[in-house]
Amino acid sequence: MAGEPQSDCLFCKIVAGEVPATIVRESETTVAFRDINPQAPTHVLVIPKAHHADAAALAAAEPGIAADVLREAGEIAAQENVRGSGYRVVFNTGSGAGQTVFHAHAHVLGGRGLEWPPG
């Protein structure tokens, strides 16, 4: 069922504490942790605790939690001191766009120059 933990999902396992992660922030509905393969000095993933395959599915099913993810992304930027220099919030959606983990997540990237358009 939408939102329920999936036994084969890496990020559900991080939420459950079954896979270790460097957690930097947590709310009632979200967890934020450092990306294991950082692409910038700040590279934090913000995920809903509930399982949804991607950001669009999350927003359709639980819009309040989608808003929580966006708010937490901004709080992470402040916590990591990249709000002033600028940062990027990315939701890769679909394998053609580079999504590899099918549990919705926001990448918060900052601490270096970020090119536009992205690759």
Residues near Zn ion (CB under 5 A) are 6, 9, 11-12, 51, 103
Query: In terms of CB distance, is 2 or 18 closer to ligand AMP?
Result: 18
The smaller minimum CB distance to Zn ion, of residues 58 and 109, is found at 58
Task: Output the CA torsion 75→81→83→88 (10° steps).
Answer: -80
Contact string 67-96 vs ligand AMP (x = CB under 6 A): -------------------------x----
Tell me which residue of 49, 13, 56 sits closest to 32, measured CA to CA.
Answer: 49
Question: For residue 68, how many C-alpha atoms fall within 13 Å in the half-sphere facing its CB?
Answer: 18
Q: Considering only residues 44-63, where is the footprint of ligand AMP by CB under 6 A? A: 45
* Active site (annotated) includes residue 103: no
Token duo for residue 100: 């590899």
CA gap 39, 46 in Å, rounded: 15
List of residues contacting ligand AMP (CB under 6 A) = 10, 19, 21, 33, 35-37, 45, 92, 98-101
Q: So which residues are the catalytic ones?
A: 105
